[in-house]
Amino acid sequence: MRAEIYIGGPGLARGYLDRPELTAERFVPDPFAETGGERLYRTGDQGSRRPDGSLEYFGRLDLQVKIRGFRIELGEIESVLLECPGIKQAIVTVREDTPGDKKLVAYLVANEEVTTGELHDRLKERLPDYMVPSAFVMLEAMPLTPNRKIDRNALPVPSARRGVDESNYVAPRTPTEELMARIWSEALGLERVGVEDNFFALGGHSLLATQIVSRIREAFHLDLPLRSLFESPTVASAARAIEELQKGGDAGKSGAPAIPKRAQAEYFSCSIVRSVAPQLAHKVSARFNHVKISSLAAAKPAQSRDARLP
């Protein structure tokens, strides 16, 4: 069972210097003490006790976040990033630069050249999509507090082209690509989007994908299947899919295949109900979509009188 780790004993500090509110929050009464006045310190770390009595450390409690319904351990993402070649330091945090739009951002210090595309692909191999950061910010060094700890509040805001290698930018080449790129940039909150940029690498997710499909319907007057954005998440591929739907004429107006109309018939078979044992069939009488089923035991298959439309 995981829980917060508390420490206490004769060596425990008295509190934070000139910070009474923080001292009251972190130094709490010891419920196990035999004498009054003893206190415990809330470390903010989470762990569990193993059968041999040792403690297993799981990371900071304040590094556990919830985004779009998913509970995420930021330390787990940082551990995977540190395993990537060339990464010296890694910090993952949650930013909400746009109200209501929380995003994971990874801040990295590398000792060799590393592209954001390589990092994105490597994380997708190890982590679910909702744990892959929307942006990767390369720094020369991490900002530090006077106590030499990483100052998360001083981490910079990601650039407008977050999570994308700027050198690989490809401008729209057709009117369809130009309109699609504008739809993507507005939905993602970016200044511009290249036709080969990956939707999810730009910070896209399932909710934004639904919004984009809705905007495509308004702009092009056709339905682009939502799955197409997941299968081919670039402006270029989406534009090709739209152009193919436009060439299809009326067939392209629907995102689902048409259901063929069945010829009208006086009698319809009810093979499922025939599975009822003959000795019980005379007791069966039911209505399914206004179809009356009766006298099953006496029905003759050749006459197809198992069910007759009124």
CA distances from 235 to 105, 249, 290 (A): 23, 22, 48
Does the pLDDT of residue 287 top 60, yes or no? no
In a domain, 281, yes or no: yes
CB within 8 Å of 287: residues ≥ 6 apart: 293
* Residue 235 and residue 181 in one domain: yes
Residue whose token pair is 């008295």: 14
Instruction: Residue 109: name the closest of 143, 80, 76 by CA.
Output: 143
In a domain, 162, yes or no: no
Task: Work out the burial of residue 296: count CB atoms within 10 Å of its CB; fewer than 13 is exposed, 13-18 middle, 19 or more buried.
Answer: buried
* Domain of 221, in residue numbers: 169-253
For residue 108, the cross-strand partners are 90, 138
* Residue 173 and residue 237 in one domain: yes
* Residue 101 and residue 44 in one domain: no
Selected residue with higher pLDDT from 249 and 126 = 126
In a domain, 202, yes or no: yes
For residue 94, the cross-strand partners are 104
Does the pLDDT of residue 142 top 90, yes or no? yes
Chain segment 117-132, per-residue pLDDT in tens: 788 888 888 888 788 8
Instruction: Residue 144: name the closest of 109, 94, 97 by CA.
Output: 109
Predicted confidence at residue 12, as pLDDT, reads 92
Q: How many residues does the chain have?
A: 310
In a domain, 159, yes or no: no
Instruction: Look at residues 13, 29, 61 and tell me which one is the last residue of a structural domain.
Output: 61
Mean pLDDT of all residues in 287-299: 40
In a domain, 27, yes or no: yes
Predicted confidence at residue 262, as pLDDT, reads 60
Chain segment 107-118, per-residue pLDDT in tens: 999 988 888 778
| CA angle at 92 for the pair 86 and 95, rounded to the nearest 5° | 135
For residue 109, the cross-strand partners are 89
For residue 10, the cross-strand partners are none
In a domain, 50, yes or no: yes
Chain segment 49-67, per-residue pLDDT in tens: 899 989 888 777 766 777 7
In a domain, 161, yes or no: no
- Using a cut of 0.85, tell me whether the model's pTM lies above it: no
Does the pLDDT of residue 271 top 50, yes or no? no
Predicted confidence at residue 249, as pLDDT, reads 59
Q: Per the structure, how many domains does the chain have?
A: 4
Does the pLDDT of residue 258 top 70, yes or no? no
* Residue 249 and residue 276 in one domain: no
Read off the CATH number of the domain in which 9 is found. Answer: 2.30.38.10
